[in-house]
Amino acid sequence: MQRSGGSISGKLFVVATPIGNLGDLSPRSLDTLKTVAAICAEDTRHTRQLLAHFGVEKPLVALHEHNEGDAAAPLVARLLAGESLALVSDAGTPLVSDPGFRLVRAAREAGIVVSPVPGASALIAALSVAGLPSDRFIFEGFLPAKSKARRERLVQLASEPRTLIFYESSHRIEEALDDAVAAFGAERRAVIARELTKLFETVLDGSLAELAQRVRADPNQRKGEFVLLVQGAGEDADAKVVEGRRLYAKLSEHLPPSTAAKLAAELSGAPRKALYGSD
């Protein structure tokens, strides 16, 4: 606890929970969930099942993207009154593509101590087993749902030298891979980590074109939750090819692939064969 406005305030704990295997809940996380006054949860039904597994009974407060703006103020009031609270998401580390940012910011602005209780994170778990450069990486969260916006975002990232990490859903993974092939090129190395720590955990690696084909050919590889990792362009990436692929991706939205590749090659100076066939 800390002094805030002359009174003793509680503490907000940001608690990581398992992404699949319940054995990954840390002893400290469990102790924290047992001792706080209440738990703020993205989905109270999901969190209630987790708590029941460990024999924990605590009041739950719904905190999700639709109510977080309104819920933050009364929760901060409880913290200022001396209660300590825990914040959890459905799985993994809160605020990483999950709600919680508004509450954490409001709590900090009110002078409340916000303390992390670290644990599972799907993006870090995937990076640790991917075999891609891990000294520098960029996390992009979920790509846009609509194909045009998704392609535009990927094209913007085509020259990024750091390893790229995305979350993707089962009903969009096939399209996302096809769009990644168009934006990055068929031969860019990538990894798909699916259902990490769960019964059907799978980690596939290869070129983007190879991964797209494997996912297309096997319905089982289109089920579950995905982390997609793509090797960065590298510091020595051919700038002409990167620019050519950016132009090709834009032009191919309106022109036949062969025509788009011809124009993109002329405008960028990149070899046409490096562009055509990457769609």
Q: Judge whether residue 243 has pLDDT over 90.
A: no
What does pLDDT average to over the chain? 91
Please, which pLDDT band fits residue 235 given cuts at 50, 70 and 90?
Answer: low
Asked if the model's pLDDT at residue 7 lies above 60, the reply is no
* Average pLDDT value for residue range 164-190: 94
Task: Give me the sign of the Cα torsion angle 118, 144, 151, 19.
Answer: positive
Check whether 2 has a pLDDT greater than 60. Answer: no
Is the distance from CB of 65 to CB of 98 less than 8 angstroms?
Answer: no
The pairing of strands 189-194 and 202-207 is antiparallel
Who has greater pLDDT, 153 or 252?
153
45: number of CA atoms within 13 Å, CB side? 0
Using an 8 Å Cβ cutoff, are 228 and 168 in contact?
Answer: yes
What does the pLDDT look like over 37-94, one tens digit per residue? 999 999 999 999 999 999 999 999 999 989 998 999 999 999 999 999 999 999 999 9
The whole-number pLDDT of residue 238 equals 64
CA distance 106 to 85: 14
CA distance 266 to 41: 54
> What are the C-alpha distances in Å from 60 to residues 42, 46, 70, 116?
10, 11, 16, 19
Q: Are strands 38-41 and 85-88 parallel, antiparallel or unpaired?
A: parallel
Long-range pairs of 62-65 with CB within 8 A, sequence gap ≥ 24 = 63/87, 63/99, 63/100, 63/103, 64/99, 65/99
Count CB neighbours of 190 within 10 A.
25
User: pLDDT tens across 29-42, in order?
Assistant: 999 999 999 999 99
Does position 177 have pLDDT exceeding 60, yes or no?
Answer: yes
Confidence category of residue 277, pLDDT binned at 50, 70, 90: low
Q: Cα separations (Å) of 153 from 19, 69, 77, 94, 156?
A: 27, 28, 40, 24, 5
pLDDT value of position 6: 47
Q: Which two tokens stand for residue 246?
A: 């950016």
